[in-house]
Amino acid sequence: MLAVVPPTYNPSERRRHVGNVLLELIADEGLAGTNIRAVAERADCSVGAIQKYFRTKDDMLEFALQLVGERVEARLQSVDRTGTLVDVVRSWLLATLPLDAERRAEARIWAEFSVRAIGHRPYSAAAIAVDNDIRAALTEYLEEERRQGAVSADIETSTVADALIATSDGLALTMLYDEGREVEALAALDVVINRLLPLP
């Protein structure tokens, strides 16, 4: 469990701390077991303290989705881009798959939100914003590689980015409910990358 927030933290740090506690709770209990009172108990503070930062459960959950997006985007930004195109894209997509405890928790949170986002405009808007940021970053990288001659000129980079992201999303979901298929999932990922990104 995360440590209690010291009273010297500023409001934005307190809010982020509560958000991290919230992510822990969702990963452990799912969205059904997540509410303001449960977050307050885990954060060892009052319900009123939580409500200073989040007026409603929806506000709180939207912030959690934003935090997951920030974590994933930060991990993608840290990927070493000095290797070959295929190696970099593979590393990029591996960063989104549930291959360790932290990423597994994030993938579970994302999967739960994806279901809730159907027919729920605030959740879907938050999820779309994260998707768009990741898609834009991958498309920008592919465009740069095309300018360098590493990507075929006839490839539509935004469409390829969509296909790669859809593949990683699907594999992540499979790996959540079937942990024993990691080897097969990574092999499938390699096939898709090599088919979508042939040498120019």
Give the tens place of pLDDT for each residue, 36-68.
899 999 888 889 888 888 888 888 888 888 888
Residue 60: inside a domain: no
Q: Could you tell me if 115 and 38 lie in one domain?
A: no
Report whether 154 contacts 123 (CB < 8 A).
no
Q: Could you tell me if 6 and 39 lie in one domain?
A: yes
The model's confidence at residue 93, banded by pLDDT at 50, 70 and 90, is very high
Q: How far apart (Å, rounded) are the C-alpha atoms in residues 38 and 44?
A: 10
Checking if the pLDDT of 123 tops 90, the result is no
Cα torsion 86, 89, 90, 91 to 10°: value is 120
Report whether 45 contacts 4 (CB < 8 A).
yes
Q: Could you tell me if 83 and 160 lie in one domain?
A: yes
Lookup result for tokens 């990574």? 186
pLDDT in tens, 175-197: 999 989 999 999 999 999 999 99
Report whether 141 contacts 85 (CB < 8 A).
no
Q: Could you tell me if 84 and 5 lie in one domain?
A: no
| CATH classification at residue 7 | 1.10.10.60
- 122 contact partners, CB below 8 Å, separation of at least 6: 58, 62
Residue-number span of the structural domain to which 28 is assigned = 1-55
Q: How far apart (Å, rounded) are the C-alpha atoms in residues 99 and 94?
A: 8
Cα torsion 115, 119, 125, 126 to 10°: value is -30
Cα torsion 176, 180, 182, 183 to 10°: value is -160
Residue 20: inside a domain: yes
The model's confidence at residue 2, banded by pLDDT at 50, 70 and 90, is very low
Question: CA 96: distance to chain centroid?
Answer: 6
DSSP character string of 89-132? HHHHHHTTS--SHHHHHHHHHHHHHHHHHTT-HHHHHHHHHHHH
Q: Could you tell me if 121 and 40 lie in one domain?
A: no
The model's confidence at residue 9, banded by pLDDT at 50, 70 and 90, is low
Q: How far apart (Å, rounded) are the C-alpha atoms in residues 73 and 96?
A: 9
